[in-house]
Structure 1
Amino acid sequence: MRQDNPRQDQSSAASSSTSSLRQAIEVVSSLISFSDGIRVFPVKWQMLRNKLEELNTSLIAIANCDSTQNPILSGLVSAIILAANNCYDLARSCVDLSYSGKLLMQSDLDVMAAKFDRLLKNLSGICTAGVLTQGFAIVVSKPGLNACKDDMRFYVRDLLTRMKIGDTEMKRQALVNLREVVVEDERYFRVIVEVGDIVHILVNLLDSPEIGIQEEAAKVVSLISGFDSFKPVLVGSGVIGPLVRVLEIGSVLGKEAAARSLQKLTEKSDNAWSVSAHGGVTALLKICASADSNEELIGPASGVLRNLVGVEEIKRFMIEEGVVSRFIKLARSRGEAVQISSIEFLQNIASGDESVRQLVVREGGIRALVHLLDPKISSTYKFREIALRAIENLCFSSKSCINILTNYGFLDQLLFFLRNGDVSIQELALKVSFKLSGTSEEAKKAMGDTGFMSEFVRFLDAKSFEVREMASEALTGMVSVPKNRKIFVQDDRNIGFLLQLLDQEEANSSGNKKFLISILISLTSSNNGRRKIVNSGYLKNIEKLAEAEVSDAKRLVRKLSTNRFRSMLNGLWHS
């Protein structure tokens, strides 16, 4: 009498169970595809397809579980196959329009939807009870870079199932894998949105008690929130509240990802009130005030606050909480990345608000900015640019602030950048100097005493037309001040260089004649200036310009022809 081999029986059972799973996947997948062509009862069929999609992803994920020792799962798979076949009969009737009545068909579809719902809950319960574990789950291979959309969708559905019903490590690894494919191929963003429920699952996982899962979910959300078209999907799924909770209790990496997400989601201030309502402003201020917060966290946290200052009520709350002094302290004490974020925040919160601008000044904001521009401190071009722009925006509209700048040595710093460094830094300093020279006569006098005019002269023959024009216009304004004219004409090289440039401009028929002539006209108000122009040897060139009807050239000649200079010019000009 032959004895049965237990191992052979188990192997046979395993093969049979695996075959049933594969059959269930094929039947459900086929039903999903077939139902896409149904044009009647669209709402009910869409509801059925959603349930079938969930069922399919769950079946795929457990296709290689240790199901041979779980008869309950085997029975459930058989029930799924039977239900799918029955649903296929309903689908065929809807495609052929061969059903006996609309009300009866709608009732049948409702019954079928309820049946699939029960099957889903039973399957989820079995998997949660331990069938779907890291040791037994099939590992679906990541599609290649040129994979078709169906393969990508299959992979994402598998990851979704693991996030829903896997154990802790499986959920965490599924999130890691999802983040990796999203970074590698942006097409996955659209697949994520198309695969139902995945965004909701991500939002739910942000509240996971497992720090590792919460952290990875925050990283994935941070990536998705970078796409404008997907921001409404995230916000509509309630992501703001969980992100704020991660800021409050999450790990350092989780907080960084949450802050980056909120910064992207609040770029247009549409979600400002939601962040505030969930306590986000307080959490962000706490982060920026904490000595334990690193630069990678403070940067995006301050970025969120910067986005929120556009809402007046939120801005006032921040001010009441001492945000101005807090960010001035950050600008003084942290690395360059945090300093840049802090300066940009101070600019935003003071923009268009004179009372806040004055508060920034009272709290030592100008002193801090001038200190940060110390040439002895090594800084990038971006940092210099942001600091100079901040000084321009915060100080140039106020005479008292310009006086404070002067007292703190800002003019010496600005002059240093005009004279030193690469071209980009010098041109940046020129732009700021140009704007400063147009603020007031007091500013012009201070700049004249410091030595700016000779630097403006140096830029008059720069390659860039924009630079030449700025230097010419700034110098025109500077020499309109009597004290500055006196300083300017003391250096013989200044007038000689202007006349030489005017000759070159005339020869090239381009450039800044208007400003050059305007400067010379201003200099004729000084006896010493007129004398040096007359004795320069360039009078014939000026005469040619006047004869050519060049703007203001005749006026310049007339200025030179007055009083005791008339005899010197006799023969050079005849009116």
Structure 2
Amino acid sequence: MGKEDNPQEAAANGAAQKCPESSSTPLVGEEKLRRAIQLIASLISEFHASKIKVFSVKWQMIRGKVEELNSGLIAAENCHSSESQTLSDLVSAIIESVKECQDLAHRCINLSFSGKLLMQSDLDLICAKLDAHIRNLSGIYTAGILSNESAIVVSRPSFGASREDIKFYVKDLLTRLKIGNFEMKKQALVSLNEMVYEDEKYARVVVEMNEVILLLANFLDSFELEVQEESAKLVSVIAGFNCYRSLLVRVGIVAPLIRVLERGSGKGKEYAVKSLQKLTENADNAWSLSAHGGVTALLNICSNEETMEELIGLACGVLRNLVVVKEIKRFMIEEDAIPSSIKLVTAREESTQINSIEFLQCLGSGDESTRQMIIQAGGITALLRALDPKSSFSSFKTRETALRAIESLCFSSMISLNLLVDFGFLDQLLYFLRNGEAPIQELALKAAFRLSVTSKEAKKIMGDSGFIPEFVKFLDAKSYEVREMATEALSCMVTVPKNRKKFVQDDRNIGLILRLIVARQGESSGNLKFLLSTLLSISSSSSARRRIINSGYMKNIEKLADDGVSDAEKIIKKVSTNRFKAMLNRILHS
């Protein structure tokens, strides 16, 4: 491989060409520094050109350290420096170590060393020297001897770049994270964020370099808020990939994320919560968060009136993920999570409304005692306010979520159902059945259907409120699920005499049921079953029986009866009383 093909050497040469002169007087040791970079680039080129057959693990370690040192020197070359004997002495020592490394490499390639034990000792020694140089260079940055007013970052690999080029670029950024001052660290984190956000291929390289993840965990505790924020942002992006979440938890990222929640900046908290929300999508990670006080920190965010609503919404999202653990759920309830969440249901921020509603719904799921606590704390009132079609603070999505929560929390108890009716829930359902967009209209129909099967009293109230015409309207809907719900709901409603009377008062209703029975004949769905059930119920009315006989559809009903359909047989029997027998015989045998 030629030098022009080597990404590391190209980066070094590019850096030398791009570095602007800060003054007409050369920087102290500038040529020496450039010489060190050239020597390292040459050594890295040799690593690429030939594989050393012996002590391969040792040489892999040496190569990593040399590349890290190379990135640090390139960064140093592109910084202004004061007159510093310390820097000059370090560069001289690095040059000597690089020459020594080249000599050892040649001896290993040519197998010209005197003994394996001695060579292994020499390689250990050169590893120790390179480590010392990296630490000393980091110390120089920390001491402020170098400033990066004109520092440049190695050019980011283009789309479709090789894995080796990407790895080199990430290693360069890693070096800046380790030895750079505040500005260099921040810029390196910004660059990492940009690349990881755009392509999972970059994220994979970053995650495979465990050192980057460990550094991020440390930077989350940084007093430099911009470094903390960029680190939390990068963690949130990496946590977005499901396959990397377990690694983040294993390296201990949860505890520093919680510390950011407790005392970080607004932006830092936002990214920390986003990270925790993604990590806790796996319930196995819930205990890790709880063990470090994360539940308390999240509850404090939700109950603090000065917290930004967007952050509160995100915190509710994490709490919702944690509810699946019974012990954590119990702790939340003891810490007054229910009343504080009910307050958030009527917040102005959509995400806060939705996440708090879903959190309450999860709290009450499968737990009647918790559902009653939510209701007693004012949950029904809050949910109905969020559902209210007249509310200017509730979005379409909020209303959908509130309707699902009402159905989940309130339909299992007659007490809560009565409260719903008293607070005007039926009027809201009717509004959405008549005027709602398709998704919420379907949810309203589902809720109305569930109400219709709860009790005879509920059927009576719904009949008086005007639900029967709305169910009829959906009998011939395009959606199979909608037709099924409407048909079953109607068949339940007409079991009440008062509702049957209302239904048969409209001549069109009986004709529609008969036409739909013919249309659905041959189907094995429940749709036909509930249509026949409805027809059987209304055939208790003499006026309905007369219309059925005169409709012209009796042959279809008889055919179903002949096929053994139970409800069809019952309908035939009902309309074939002495009073109608002669008329029926004429129709059937004409």
Asked if 1:521 is matched to 2:540, the reply is no
CA distance in 2 between counterparts of 1:50 and 1:140 reads: 17
Match of residue 108 from structure 1: 122
Report the CA distance between 1:277 and its aligned residue: 2.3
CA distance in 1 between counterparts of 2:164 and 2:81 reads: 27
Report the CA distance between 1:257 and its aligned residue: 0.8
Alignment CA distance shift 1:46-1:445 (3 Å): farther
Aligned residue runs from structure 1 range 393-542, under 5 A: 393-505=408-520, 512-542=527-557
2:539–2:575 Cα contact (<8 Å) kept: yes
Aligned residue runs from structure 1 range 360-371, under 5 A: 360-371=374-385
Asked if 1:163 is matched to 2:177, the reply is yes
Aligned residue runs from structure 1 range 141-540, under 5 A: 141-195=155-209, 197-378=211-392, 379-505=394-520, 512-540=527-555
1:64–1:138 Cα contact (<8 Å) kept: yes
Aligned AA (1:532): R
1:262–1:304 Cα contact (<8 Å) kept: yes
Listed one character per residue, the Cα deviations across residues 522-552 of structure 1 (whole Å, up to 9, x for unaligned) are 2123334323323444434434554566664
2:71–2:172 Cα contact (<8 Å) kept: yes
Alignment CA distance shift 1:189-1:132 (3 Å): farther
Match of residue 7 from structure 2: none
Alignment CA distance shift 1:8-1:554 (3 Å): closer
CA distance in 2 between counterparts of 1:446 and 1:536 reads: 31
Asked if 1:562 is matched to 2:577, the reply is yes
Match of residue 48 from structure 1: 62
Aligned AA (1:570): N
Report the CA distance between 1:136 and its aligned residue: 4.7
1:132–1:165 Cα contact (<8 Å) kept: no
Listed one character per residue, the Cα deviations across residues 163-189 of structure 1 (whole Å, up to 9, x for unaligned) are 323222332233223222333333321
CA distance in 1 between counterparts of 2:404 and 2:53 reads: 61
CA distance in 1 between counterparts of 2:179 and 2:23 reads: 31
CA distance in 2 between counterparts of 1:182 and 1:301 reads: 24
Aligned AA (1:271): N
1:203–1:238 Cα contact (<8 Å) kept: yes
Query: What percent of counterpart residues are identical?
Result: 59
2:491–2:530 Cα contact (<8 Å) kept: yes
CA distance in 2 between counterparts of 1:341 and 1:273 reads: 21
Match of residue 4 from structure 1: none
Report the CA distance between 1:26 and its aligned residue: 0.6
- 1:333 alignment partner, SS class: coil
Stretch deviating more after TM superposition (143-152 or 468-477): 143-152
Question: Normalized against structure 1, the TM-score is what?
Answer: 0.90
Report the CA distance between 1:320 and its aligned residue: 0.9
CA distance in 2 between counterparts of 1:304 and 1:508 reads: 46
Aligned AA (2:77): A
Stretch deviating more after TM superposition (334-343 or 523-532): 523-532
2:385–2:391 Cα contact (<8 Å) kept: no
Aligned AA (1:449): D
1:205–1:217 Cα contact (<8 Å) kept: yes
CA distance in 1 between counterparts of 2:108 and 2:556 reads: 94
Match of residue 37 from structure 2: 22
1:199–1:237 Cα contact (<8 Å) kept: yes
1:23–1:81 Cα contact (<8 Å) kept: no
2:299–2:337 Cα contact (<8 Å) kept: yes
Listed one character per residue, the Cα deviations across residues 104-124 of structure 1 (whole Å, up to 9, x for unaligned) are 333333222222221222222
CA distance in 1 between counterparts of 2:328 and 2:475 reads: 48
Aligned AA (1:414): L
Alignment CA distance shift 1:473-1:129 (3 Å): same
CA distance in 2 between counterparts of 1:196 and 1:204 reads: 13
1:63–1:138 Cα contact (<8 Å) kept: no
CA distance in 1 between counterparts of 2:267 and 2:586 reads: 83
2:43–2:102 Cα contact (<8 Å) kept: no
Stretch deviating more after TM superposition (299-308 or 522-531): 522-531
Aligned AA (1:523): I
Alignment CA distance shift 1:148-1:439 (3 Å): same
- 1:377 alignment partner, SS class: coil
Alignment CA distance shift 1:34-1:48 (3 Å): farther
- 2:474 alignment partner, SS class: helix
Aligned AA (1:59): L
Report the CA distance between 1:285 and its aligned residue: 0.9
Alignment CA distance shift 1:347-1:31 (3 Å): farther
Report the CA distance between 1:313 and its aligned residue: 2.0
Report the CA distance between 1:471 and its aligned residue: 1.3
Asked if 1:82 is matched to 2:96, the reply is yes
1:145–1:185 Cα contact (<8 Å) kept: no
- 1:209 alignment partner, SS class: coil
1:32–1:49 Cα contact (<8 Å) kept: yes
1:99–1:105 Cα contact (<8 Å) kept: yes
Report the CA distance between 1:28 and its aligned residue: 4.6
2:316–2:359 Cα contact (<8 Å) kept: yes
Can you give the 5+ residue segments of structure 2 that lack an aligned partner in the other structure?
1-21
1:331–1:338 Cα contact (<8 Å) kept: yes
Alignment CA distance shift 1:569-1:346 (3 Å): same
Aligned AA (2:297): A
Report the CA distance between 1:247 and its aligned residue: 0.9
Alignment CA distance shift 1:145-1:408 (3 Å): same
Listed one character per residue, the Cα deviations across residues 308-355 of structure 1 (whole Å, up to 9, x for unaligned) are 122222211111110001000111234322110100101112222222
CA distance in 2 between counterparts of 1:420 and 1:97 reads: 85
Report the CA distance between 1:226 and its aligned residue: 0.9
CA distance in 2 between counterparts of 1:509 and 1:395 reads: 33
Aligned AA (2:420): L
Aligned AA (1:376): K
1:396–1:436 Cα contact (<8 Å) kept: yes
- 2:345 alignment partner, SS class: helix
Alignment CA distance shift 1:96-1:385 (3 Å): farther
1:543–1:572 Cα contact (<8 Å) kept: no
- 1:461 alignment partner, SS class: coil
Aligned AA (2:363): I
2:475–2:486 Cα contact (<8 Å) kept: yes
Total equivalences in the alignment: 567
CA distance in 2 between counterparts of 1:441 and 1:40 reads: 86
